[in-house]
Structure 1
């Protein structure tokens, strides 16, 4: 049995429009195309490339339509559904967060402004790590340019109706790539070295998302990731948040987070790491969502 499309039930609250607004934040995003009604993306499902479109006629169910290629086998549909649930954090119950926010002078404006927004994830570990690495100490626009160059140089692509859709490169693709070759894309030598090291660890099976998800606590994940030269606490926290679905991840050194809190509290300076930790101690278990919503206030 095979299908060319299927539906996924959606949790409440969920607002696809809020997610699409976040996904449309950069005009040079290279891994998907978001418009006012949905998003098109090329994904690797099993050993095949699948170009899909996601849309929501309402916020009760998400429609997944296959745009090109053979119909989906049931196992492919299941793999794709798992990816989408991780991508939009659909297995998360947000009601406790909404209850926590009510009456809170800091949280409620965030929860009200971005009601139904989910942490839009990066389920692929290599993509998540590379995105965090290229984003270290550069502005968001330049980070998108670096991701675009990596993807165009080393990723696969497919054509459909005059458009080009791209896959982020696999770690295996970097087996024979040199630091100088990555530096030619305007990556620093340290970032190039770290990407090659991460690619090697993943190709060898020494680093896997499945393994990280089985570790007993967040500290173990941080220790595992920061053992790789070039990956610091910020990168580890970011990957825990965007790839591993860890709600306690708090990228305390993130400049965007610091600026958003400064703006929200009307401070004349950025909060210190200690002040940020003290602030977030009020809301244990929701650090990632609060961070994600704070980031949205900057756009």
Structure 2
């Protein structure tokens, strides 16, 4: 089926293909393979003016709408902060910026564990290696994320390059499930924030312990990376409540530019 959606806030194709991401964006069309209720499905999104054309199974379309935040009204955030001295200019330059989500909450949690305390590019390689080995390949060539049961195999995770400590944590959380994730040793505030932001679509998440975003903020203000404390950064993020997650996305976009300053 095909559905035409006019987003509640202007949208555009996501930028590039992030490390470890299973979403593919080519020539303004986003594609994602996923398994829902045991069925391997493909969803596609194409931008035409101010509307987005979605194609696929009804369940896959619903997940794609969530992934692209098409039904989220971001106007309150932009009204409140478009004049902000820190992020205002970036917001005005990139008003269509979104947080890229994933179709299944456990995938967000699993990827969060794989990206713990590790170089982003290396973590992406590990995620891809595990996906190719244990995920399902759609006829389009795209891969759907491995099922939760695959992550219970610690040896298989280590074989793809994940450190033993992280592999053990991920295997344990895969066995106990999302409801008890917070009780697993190795699942802390940072990883749960990844689950909430990318898996549940919450914007009001604490990201003070995210070193990458904190360093992006440091570059924006012209400070030395590593010099901003968690407490200082949490206070900065709290200025944007309940939109800390979206504010963090703008910090990443701005902080990783050359120089990272206005």
TM-score, structure 2 as length reference: 0.89
Q: Which moved more, 1:48-57 or 1:286-295?
A: 48-57
Report deviation, 1:146: 0.7
Which deviations, in whole Å up to 9, do the C-alpha atoms of 1:189-212 show, x marking residues without a partner?
11111221122123xxxx35xxxx
Give distance in 1, aligned partners of 2:23 and 2:224.
Answer: 38
Gaps of 5+ in 1: 67-71, 209-223
CA distance 1:130–1:65, shift in 2 (3 Å): same
TM-score, structure 1 as length reference: 0.79
1:104-119 equivalences under 5 Å are 104-119=84-99
In structure 2, the partner of 1:272 is 229
| Moved beyond 3 Å, runs of 4+ | none
Give distance in 2, aligned partners of 1:39 and 1:231.
Answer: 31
CA contact 1:37–1:56 (8 Å) conserved in 2 = yes
RMSD: 2.0
Q: How many residue pairs get matched?
A: 255
The one of 188, 193, 201 equivalent to 2:168 is 193
CA distance 1:144–1:168, shift in 2 (3 Å): same
Aligned pair 1:282/2:249, yes or no? Answer: no
Gaps of 5+ in 2: 258-262
CA distance 1:174–1:271, shift in 2 (3 Å): closer
Give distance in 2, aligned partners of 1:41 and 1:277.
Answer: 33
Larger Rg: 1
Report deviation, 1:30: 5.8
In structure 1, the partner of 2:54 is 64
CA contact 1:123–1:244 (8 Å) conserved in 2 = no
CA contact 1:24–1:35 (8 Å) conserved in 2 = no
